[in-house]
Amino acid sequence: MMAEQQFDRAEFMERHYTLAELSKAWHLGWDTLKSWFENEPGVIKFGPGQLKKGRKRTHLTLRVPESVARRVYRKRTGRDHTATGGK
């Protein structure tokens, strides 16, 4: 039980990035990163996610935990050996 509590706390206290921060660090466009992360498990989404009557667009904010950013980076750079079955 104690190990589970420590894991939950570590996950809770993990650094969370905005798309703007990742865009600057990785030298990639915000739109590219949005398409990579908007449906990625573990990403926190703020906002309604649906259009309100009379609106042309909705405002959705994403926060990406460091572990998710690392996972996506490995997958996108071909360094994720677990996804390809390699070593």
Domain ranges of the chain: 14-81
> Does residue 3 or residue 37 have the better pLDDT?
37
Nearest CA to 10 out of 63, 82, 66, 64 is that of: 66
- Note the pLDDT tens digit of each residue in 4-28: 555 556 777 899 999 999 999 999 9
Does residue 87 register a pLDDT over 60? no
The token pair that represents 66 in the structure block: 């460091």
- Note the pLDDT tens digit of each residue in 45-85: 887 666 566 666 667 789 999 999 999 999 998 876 665 55
Determine if the pTM surpasses 0.75.
Answer: no
pLDDT at residue 11, as a whole number: 72
pLDDT at residue 42, as a whole number: 92
The token pair that represents 80 in the structure block: 């994720």
